[in-house]
Amino acid sequence: MARTVGKAVGKSPGKLPIKASGRSGKKASGKAAGARDRALGLLDKKLVLNMLDLMVKSRALEERLIKVYKTGDAYFWIGAPGEEAFGVPLGLLVDKGHGPAHDFLHLHYRGTPTLVAMGMPMIDSIRLIMNRATDSSTGGRNFANHYCFPKWNVVPVGSPIEVQYSMAVGTAMAQRRRKMKKEKAGVSIVTGGDAGSAEGDFASCMIWSSRPGAELPVYMTVQNNKWGISTNYDSQHGEKHVSDRGKAFGIRTNVVDGNDPIESYFAISQDLEYIRKNTKPVLTEFMVSRLYGHSSASGANRENGECPIERFEKRLVDSKYITTGFVKELWQQYDDESRDAAEKVRAEGVPTAESVWDHIYVGSENADWRKF
């Protein structure tokens, strides 16, 4: 983790901070990890295992969504296989709740791991991809992974790339105002891809969140999988790292191995701590994988690339945290859970034609001009 602005916590790039601890507040145990994997030992073992559990759960869910798509029960899939080692720690570290006192989540269309870690039941995601009337996020109106959960400040995920970064300025402004009045206020967390950072909204977020004396509690994260659909990162970016751009604005920046949940966990927890304490933005880039291509439009087939879960499993087996048998059972359990959920959803009702007029205006008034 290369920290470039702000307090240096690691002694040199690549080293993990010593002070950080798990969200549980428990001291890092270090018991089982052994000398070979010092970083692992810095986190509570329960937390480490919980992360693995949630990563597997998230992947099993995404693989179910893909199956649902491939068997013709959905029209489109897009999601997050390959981003679990970033998304799960983020979900665990969010201050979850409704309103500016808590964190806002401005997610893009790869948010499943974060929401699984926050406690979203699998069935909610399946209702969304299968466009059921029971889909609370969009009422059967939008694509997979276009989540919306107001109870957790998960504002609607939209398809237009990058607008979430500039919208985060507004929620962060509301949070800053409360902070200045010594009220409790959360952070506005944004996720998005590498290619999308070319949109002006990304620059708007940096510019607006770093105005001297009016800095905003925005956590700008970029999940760099090196691709925007078919376009390679190296062909479009003169900057070495997207996050380097933050330096010009005095924004604290990091580049993190987003395929390592331990490194991600430390980075996110320290970034959030810094933002909460200083009411200033942070821009952190997580290097991640895109394991099933861009979306179902490109086939949704397993592609080459490092799998963060396989890597983590191996690490935990090597460190004797778990056995391979345990891993197998875990996958089985979540595969079953996802299948049962999909079965249940299949039997649920679908949106009616008349419902197109619902919720255009508050109270569904005045929607159809023929009626006024």
Ligand X SMILES: Cc1ncc(C[n+]2csc(CCOP(=O)(O)OP(=O)(O)O)c2C)c(N)n1
Please report, as ranges, the residues that interact with ligand X according to CB under 6 A. 110, 159-161, 192-196, 223, 225, 227-229, 294
Nearer to another protein, 14 or 200 (CB): 200
Q: Which does 253 bind (CB under 5 to 8 A by kind): Mg ion, ligand X, another protein, none?
A: none
* Least distance to ligand X, CB of residue 38, Å: 32
Q: Give the span between the Cα atoms of 223 and 291, in whole angstroms.
A: 13
Q: Which does 142 bind (CB under 5 to 8 A by kind): ligand X, another protein, Mg ion, none?
A: another protein
* Least distance to another protein, CB of residue 195, Å: 4
Q: Give the span between the Cα atoms of 58 and 49, in whole angstroms.
A: 14
Q: Give the span between the Cα atoms of 345 and 64, in whole angstroms.
A: 12
Give, as ranges, the residues between 54 and 113 that touch another protein (CB under 8 A). Answer: 75-76
356 forms part of the interface with another protein (CB under 8 A): yes
* Least distance to Mg ion, CB of residue 242, Å: 10
Contacting residue, 6, 170, 250, 351, with another protein by CB under 8 A: 351
For residues 305 and 37, is the Cβ–Cβ distance under 8 A? Answer: no
Residue by residue, what is the 3-state secondary structure of the chain? CEECCCCCCCCCCCCCCCCCCCCCCCCCCCCCCCHHHHHHHCCCHHHHHHHHHHHHHHHHHHHHHHHHHHCCCCCCCCCCCCCHHHHHHHHHHCCCCCCCCCCEEECCCCCHHHHHHHCCCHHHHHHHHCCCCCCCCCCCCCCCCCCCEHHHCECCCCCCCCHHHHHHHHHHHHHHHHHHCCCCCCCEEECCECHHHHCHHHHHHHHHHCCCCCCCCEEEEEEECCEECCEEHHHCCCCCCCCHHHHCCCCEEEEEECCCHHHHHHHHHHHHHHHHHHCCCEEEEEECCCCCCCCHHHCCCCCCCCCHHHHHHHHHHHCCCCCHHHHHHHHHHHHHHHHHHHHHHHCCCCCCHHHHHCCCCHHHCCCCHHHC
Q: Which does 49 bind (CB under 5 to 8 A by kind): ligand X, another protein, Mg ion, none?
A: none
Interface map 12-51 toward another protein (x if CB under 8 A): ----------------------------------------
Nearer to another protein, 7 or 75 (CB): 75
Interface map 189-208 toward another protein (x if CB under 8 A): ------xx-xxx--------
Contacting residue, 131, 197, 225, 243, with Mg ion by CB under 5 A: 225
* Least distance to another protein, CB of residue 196, Å: 5
Sequence-separated (6 or more) residues with CB below 8 Å from residue 281:
172, 205, 206, 209, 210, 215, 216, 217, 218, 219, 220, 246, 251, 252, 275
For residues 322 and 313, is the Cβ–Cβ distance under 8 A? Answer: yes
Give, as ranges, the residues between 229 and 268 that touch another protein (CB under 8 A). Answer: 229-231, 235-236
* Least distance to ligand X, CB of residue 12, Å: 29
* Least distance to ligand X, CB of residue 24, Å: 31
Q: Which does 301 bind (CB under 5 to 8 A by kind): another protein, ligand X, Mg ion, none?
A: none
Strand pairing report for 252-257 and 282-287: parallel
Q: Which does 354 bind (CB under 5 to 8 A by kind): another protein, ligand X, Mg ion, none?
A: another protein
Give, as ranges, the residues between 178 and 197 that touch Mg ion (CB under 5 A). Answer: 193-195
Nearer to ligand X, 76 or 227 (CB): 227
Q: Which does 110 bind (CB under 5 to 8 A by kind): another protein, Mg ion, ligand X, none?
A: ligand X
Interface map 144-163 toward another protein (x if CB under 8 A): --------------xxxxx-
* Least distance to ligand X, CB of residue 173, Å: 23
The binding site for another protein (CB under 8 A) comprises 75-76, 131, 138-143, 158-162, 195-196, 198-200, 228-231, 235-236, 297, 350-357, 360, 367-369
The binding site for Mg ion (CB under 5 A) comprises 193-195, 225, 227
